[in-house]
């Protein structure tokens, strides 16, 4: 199989880093994006050395519309068309009842998880392969399937990702662009350290007493979705660790 060009947002950590590494190990060429340039540089070096594929890094903030459109416009001709966009960049901030939530946390979650994903997709669409082979993979969450207590803003943002994924699938039919939404449950990445703003004991407590998903589990699934035949599209995939049934039921030892 000829190599494909893959752009992964949020490739500096967690799922995005593992997804980029998996595509590279599969022989695909990868564009790594995220805000932390030092990490992008280190991961670029690591992937080049381990896989020998072409790697391009684009540091930008998905919340910033101009940065997003400038970054996409800067993608060299040799990287076009893009075959697969993985919209993975995202975060939760805080876990509080509605009345206690910090308004700034809501703003950042909506600007990143919802508007950022839409900006990146809109900006890359002219570069995305049409007529078969083009694929958008959006990172949702079980938080986009059920609303849990103190999850208000994050759950709203991931419900929006669920809705946007359905909307894209309909609107992009004519271009034969597949749209897949992957919805993981609890996974041990930097997610909880970000959510709890560096409070390590609280972040660690999220994963105590059971074996959570890890980034590799989700990356394996994303690659599986991306490696289906052209006429097959996995629309919606929910994955949890065995100890978790959904947002409400988690069995801790």
Binding site for ligand 8X3 (CB under 6 A): 141-143, 185-186, 247
Applying CB under 6 A, among 129, 155, 184, 240 the residue interacting with ligand NDP is: 184
The residue of the chain with the least Cβ separation from ligand 8X3 equals 141
153 binds, among ligand 8X3, ligand NDP, none (CB under 5 to 8 A by kind): none
Cα–Cα distance between 171 and 232 in angstroms, integer? 17
Using CB under 6 A as the binding rule, whether residue 16 contacts ligand NDP is answered as yes
* Minimum separation from the CB atom of position 205 to ligand NDP (A): 14
Using CB under 6 A as the binding rule, whether residue 36 contacts ligand NDP is answered as yes
Cα–Cα distance between 55 and 245 in angstroms, integer? 37
Using CB under 6 A as the binding rule, whether residue 236 contacts ligand NDP is answered as no
| Annotated catalytic residue within 148, 154, 207, 210 | 154
> What part of residues 192-211 is at the interface with ligand NDP (CB under 6 A)?
194
Question: Closest Cα to residue 39, out of 69, 67, 59?
Answer: 59
247 binds, among ligand NDP, ligand 8X3, none (CB under 5 to 8 A by kind): ligand 8X3
Q: Which residue has the tokens 């759950």?
A: 155
Residue 224 a catalytic site member: no
Using CB under 6 A as the binding rule, whether residue 43 contacts ligand NDP is answered as no
Count of CA atoms in the C-beta half-sphere (13 A) of 252: 7
Return the axis-axis angle of helices 152-171 and 117-124, rounded to nearest 10°: 20
Please write down the long-range contacts of 195-203, taking CB distance under 8 Å and 24 or more positions apart: 195/91, 195/92, 195/93, 195/94, 195/95, 195/154, 196/95, 197/93, 197/94
Residue 163 or 176 having the CB closest to ligand 8X3: 163
């Amino acid at each position: 199989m000829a190599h494909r060009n893959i752009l992964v947002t949020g490739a500096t950590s967690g799922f995005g880093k593992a997804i980029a590494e998996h595509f590279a190990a599969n022989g695909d060429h990868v564009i790594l994006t995220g805000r932390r340039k030092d990490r992008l540089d280190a991961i670029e070096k690591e992937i080049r050395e381990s896989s020998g594929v072409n790697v391009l890094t684009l540091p930008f903030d998905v919340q910033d519309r101009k940065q997003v459109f400038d970054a996409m416009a800067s993608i060299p001709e040799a990287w076009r068309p893009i075959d697969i966009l993985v919209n993975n960049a995202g975060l939760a901030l805080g876990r509080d009842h509605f009345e206690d939530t910090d308004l700034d946390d809501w703003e950042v979650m909506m600007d990143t998880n919802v508007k950022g994903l839409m900006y990146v997709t809109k900006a890359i669409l002219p570069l995305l392969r049409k007529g078969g082979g083009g694929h958008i993979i959006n990172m949702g969450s079980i938080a986009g399937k059920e609303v849990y207590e103190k999850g208000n803003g994050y759950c709203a943002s991931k419900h929006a990702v669920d809705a946007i994924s359905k909307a894209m699938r309909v609107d992009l039919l004519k271009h034969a662009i597949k749209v897949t939404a992957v919805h993981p449950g609890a996974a041990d990445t930097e997610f909880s350290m970000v959510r709890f703003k560096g409070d390590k004991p609280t972040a660690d407590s999220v994963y105590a007493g059971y074996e959570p998903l890890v980034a590799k589990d989700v990356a394996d699934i994303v690659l599986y979705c991306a490696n289906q035949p052209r006429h097959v599209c996995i629309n919606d995939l929910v994955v949890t660790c065995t100890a978790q049934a959904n947002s409400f039921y988690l069995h801790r030892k």
